[in-house]
Amino acid sequence: MRYKRRRLINKQEFSSNDLINRVLNGRNIKKPSELDYALSNLLPYDGMKDIDKAAVLIADAVINKGHVVIVGDYDCDGATSTAVAMKGLQLLGANAENVSFMVPDRFTLGYGLTPPIIDIIRPRNPNLIITVDNGISSIEGAKAAKTIENCKLLITDHHLPPNTLPEADAVVDPNRADCPFKSKYLAGCGVMFYTLWPLGTSFSTGATTAKTAKSRPLVSCLIWSLWALSQIW
């Protein structure tokens, strides 16, 4: 069977290479400036619903030396999301002993934040649980998390949400119906990066609350590489 090439309307010439032109036109690129990878071209984080709530949860946990548990997933996006969360928290000043992670076995524990996962996490006495690349449909798991004393729940995900969101202290997902963030195609790793972005890489030494913390821009070659890997995988 022979396939006919799809005819592109208003085709743009970006390169002397016809294949590159076809790829870029197929992705609806209109002008060369859209290919500029400068950090200044990233969409602003303040368009993400609950981003401020998430920043306060993370900042308070780091400043008060609370125990943070990252709940990831086993695939490429889940693994890179977990790594970005761990690295990002270290850049924020979290001590290694105060941050841990868990990549659940889907066959025995199910997908997402499930009650059995909470049972495993509970003995760690977490003050903050952060899901990465999962959690948006974890209604029962979120309820179970709320039974842990002095523990907050932050869900970061990119999957389509159910009609009712889980009961969490913050839910960051660009695909929430009420989220105005313009890009709906972020991988879970990108969502975690955006969650960390408002905080920067470090707090001022004298900060005692999230509101008094000062930060620098969050820049890490490792984080960019992980995000790129998750986005194209």
Q: Would you state the pLDDT for residue 93?
A: 85
Beta carbons of 125 and 64 less than 8 angstroms apart:
no
Mean pLDDT per block of 10 residues along the chain (233 residues) reads 50 77 81 76 89 94 96 92 92 91 90 95 97 97 97 98 97 97 92 89 44 47 63 62
Q: Would you state the pLDDT for residue 51?
A: 95
pTM, 2 dp: 0.81
Q: Would you state the pLDDT for residue 208?
A: 46
CA-CA distance, 19 to 5, in Å (whole number)? 12
CA-CA distance, 31 to 79, in Å (whole number)? 34
Please name the amino acid found at residue 86. Answer: M
Instruction: Summarize the chain as % helix, strand, coil (round to 5).
Output: 40, 10, 50
Q: Would you state the pLDDT for residue 68?
A: 98
Q: Would you state the pLDDT for residue 201?
A: 39
- Give the number of other Cβ atoms within 10 Å of residue 113's Cβ: 29
